[in-house]
Amino acid sequence: MQRSKLHLHRGVVALACGRVFVAHVSKITHCVETGLVPTPQRVSPNRCPPRTHIMLSMATKKAADELAEPRPTVREAMRFGAFATAKLVAGAEGLDRPIEWVRMMETPEIKPRSGDLMLTTGFPIKDDHDAQVRLISRIAESGGAGLVVRPHPYLRKLSAEMITEADRLNVPVFTISADVQMIDLMTPLLERIINAEHWRLKRSLDIHRRFTELVLDGKGVNEICRTLADLLESAVVIEDASFHLLAHAGGGGDPHRKETIQRQGTPQRVLFDPQIQRMLRELEQKRGPVKVPAFPHVGMSRERLIAPILAANQVLGYISVLDHPPHHEELAFMAIEQAALVLALAIAKERELADVEGRVRGEFLEDLLHGTYGDDAAAQRRARHLGYPLHGNHIVMLVDIDDFRGFNRARQVSEDAIQALKREFLRRVAGVVRASYPRALVQGRSDSVVSLLPLGTEPGDHQARGHALGIQVRETIADWKPGFTVSVGFSGPTEAPAGVAAAQREVVSVMDSLARFKRWGQVVAVPELGLTGLLAAVTDERLVDYSRRHLGPLMEHDSSRKGSLVSTLRAYLETGEQQQAATRLRVHPNTLRYRLDRIREISGVDLEDPETRLNLAVALRVQALLGM
């Protein structure tokens, strides 16, 4: 049963991957469908007409060679065989049109197709000048490559109207002499085209095989990225739907690619650019690889191929390829399509595994934070299973979005957008935390993220390291969402599992204090909070009453007379010395002494009394916290 399931799984993956290159195989079978290269069932080699027998021999002549030549353009075809004797009479601006096939047109019902180089003696249109002009327009409308005419003995010469129309539409028109056989002109061109298609088919099969093996072997995003870079000999970048870097391979690239790798994702200034946003909308609509022009103003100095990674109509990420082989762009498109398919499978698999692991690790962290982990032995077992080092000291870190409700109210964000914002917030914070603490436990909580950071047993300045991490988190979120601020709080070092719950309560108290006093964008540790932490336990009414009792007369004086006695008192108490206070306030020492005398006179306090100085200092801190 298991072997049958494995065979079924491999068959499903192969079928899914095969859809990408089946269209490319049809390029070869198109030769058969036209009747120019017959199948063995339709015409045996012994019974081939002379012309088609030549075609069959030509198609198989170099089947074993891996010719990496692209399809020729009209300009290049002018060097092949009898085509070198052809005379260009019109449409010189269209010589770079690619030739995908060569067809004879000796009956009016034959219609030009994209990439066709049409050959004719002109017999069907020899007496109809309007039909000659219409032929040129039909070739242009269908995207044909051009027209080769052997005027003698039917047309004698091309009409002036036909030549004028060809110049107007940039359709190359050639004439050949009567002694040139059409087969001599067709043979080298079709040989080149068929050999190019043969090489492309072999390459598409190889690409299909390599990517299918990656899926069946359970390889991840990094290996798929390297394989794509090797196949195309190009620089490749893979990002998720939020443009966070997942993998990169291949050297070189333009300034934008280098910045993306350095910053682990596309910078926000690039994503907010109107031209880039328009390009991304078009890319999602086309649902396939697109050649994107250069945008030098955002550092994208080279054109690139970009493709969305899609699964169930959901964008999972993007592939960006620079410096792809210019002569094999079609092959590059096919390889990118194949890579996008297997990347969708890999990303979906990694996302599912990450969700399961995140839930297990999150449940363990929540149990530690709330003291519901059971006994120490149970906590140790779960920690070993998750690879978290429970020995040594630990720090609880809480990252909280500042005034998240106000942010949502001001922008009237939908519920789906809010949830997406929270998920991206968690992912970005977790990425920064795990870059410094790979085994940290991280869990999202509505508009905040809580982490348990293992410090180990080694001594060090953990407070400084934690503070640096908090600043990095704050800057990362600011780069992601300009105007979006977070506050970061840390506990002191504590033992696990017993001390984690108490450490969390301390950090939550710190964050509540910051939010209450609207001290946004702070990075603080519990040991640093001091007096502010104590004041957080007192109601606003009592704090206002305390401040007015000690500073009321001075505040009323400053308000009525536009004075500065309160600021003078603050400078004096914080510096502790009259000369330094005068320097800070940029006033003469005599002015400072006069203001201090006025403070004593108005408030009736003794500034030399330690208890009085303490009360005034606390009242000033309350005033600052409450914005009085």
pLDDT at 411 over 80: no
- Is a pLDDT exceeding 90 seen at residue 408? no
Residue 445: strand, helix, or coil = strand
- Degrees, nearest 5: CA angle 463-467-469: 120
More reliable by pLDDT, 50 or 166: 166
Between 184 and 41, residue with greater pLDDT: 184
> In the 3-class helix/strand/coil scheme, how is 348-392 assigned residue by residue?
HHHHHHHHHHHHHHHHHHHHHHHCCCCCHHHHHHHHHHHCCCCCC
- Which of 260-269, 275-284, 458-467 comes out lowest in average pLDDT? 458-467
Mean pLDDT, range 233-251, rounded to an integer: 88
Strands 87-90 and 441-445: unpaired
Between CA 395 and CA 526 the distance in angstroms is: 11
Residue 461 neighbours by CB under 8 Å, 6+ apart: none
Average pLDDT over residues 345-350: 85
pLDDT of 8 > 90? The answer is: no
pLDDT at 394: 93
Pairwise CA distance, residues 312 & 212, whole Å:
20
- The highest-confidence range among 15-24, 104-113, 136-145, by mean pLDDT, is 136-145
Whether the pLDDT of residue 48 is over 80: the answer is no
pLDDT score recorded for residue 561: 86
> Smallest Cα–Cα separation from 276: which of 245, 256, 298?
298
The pTM for the full model equals 0.53
* Percentage of the chain lying above the pLDDT 90 cut: 14
Fold of 540-626: Arc Repressor Mutant, subunit A (1.10.10)
Taken as a whole, the chain contains a residue count of 628
Sign of the Cα torsion 568, 574, 578, 582 reads negative
Token pair listed for 609: 């009394």
CATH class of 219-353: alpha beta
pLDDT for 47 equals 37
As given in the structure block, the two tokens for residue 596 are 């201090």
Which part of the chain has CATH 3.40.1390.20? 87-179
Q: What residue ranges of the chain are covered by domains with CATH 3.30.450.40?
A: 219-353
Average pLDDT, the chain: 80
Per-residue pLDDT, averaged over 419-430, amounts to 87
Strands (E), 153-303: 173-175, 235-240, 245-249, 290-292
Out of 93-107, 313-327, 370-384, 475-489, the most confident range is: 370-384
- How many DSSP H helices and E strands does the chain contain? 23, 16
pLDDT at 399: 93
Q: Six-digit token pair at 584?
A: 């800070």
Counting beta carbons within 10 angstroms of the beta carbon of residue 231, is it exposed (0 to 12), middle (13 to 18) or buried (19 or more)? buried
Read off the pLDDT of residues 137-195 as tens digits, 9 standing for 90 and up.
899 999 999 999 888 877 778 888 889 999 999 999 999 888 888 888 888 888 888 88
pLDDT tens digit sequence for 476-520? 888 887 778 899 988 888 999 999 998 898 888 878 877 777 778
The DSSP call for residue 263 is T
Helix (H) or strand (E) segment spanning residue 118: strand 116-120
Amino acid at 174: F
Predicted local distance difference test score (pLDDT) of residue 10: 38
From residue 150, alpha-carbon distances to 73, 127, 128, 386 in Å are 21, 15, 16, 79
Q: Tell me whether the omega of the peptide bond preceding residue 153 falls within 30 degrees of 0, making it cis.
A: yes
Top-tier CATH class for 87-179: alpha beta
In the chain, CATH 3.30.70.1230 covers 385-535
Q: Which fold has domain 385-535?
A: Alpha-Beta Plaits (3.30.70)
Q: What distance in Å separates the CA atoms of residue 379 and residue 383, rounded to the nearest whole number? A: 6
Conformation bin of residue 145: beta by default, left when phi > 0, alpha when psi is -120 to 50: alpha
* Residue 441 confidence (pLDDT) above 90: yes
pLDDT in tens, 212-240: 888 788 788 889 999 899 888 889 999 98
Please tell me the predicted confidence (pLDDT) of residue 319.
Answer: 92
Could you tell me where in the chain the CATH 1.10.10.2840 domains are found? 540-626
Q: How far, in Å, CA of 54 to CA of 183, rounded?
A: 9
Residue 498 to residue 494: CA distance in whole angstroms: 9
Sign of the torsion angle spanned by Cα atoms 38, 40, 41, 46: positive
Res. 306: pLDDT tops 80:
yes
Classify 214 as helix, strand or coil: helix
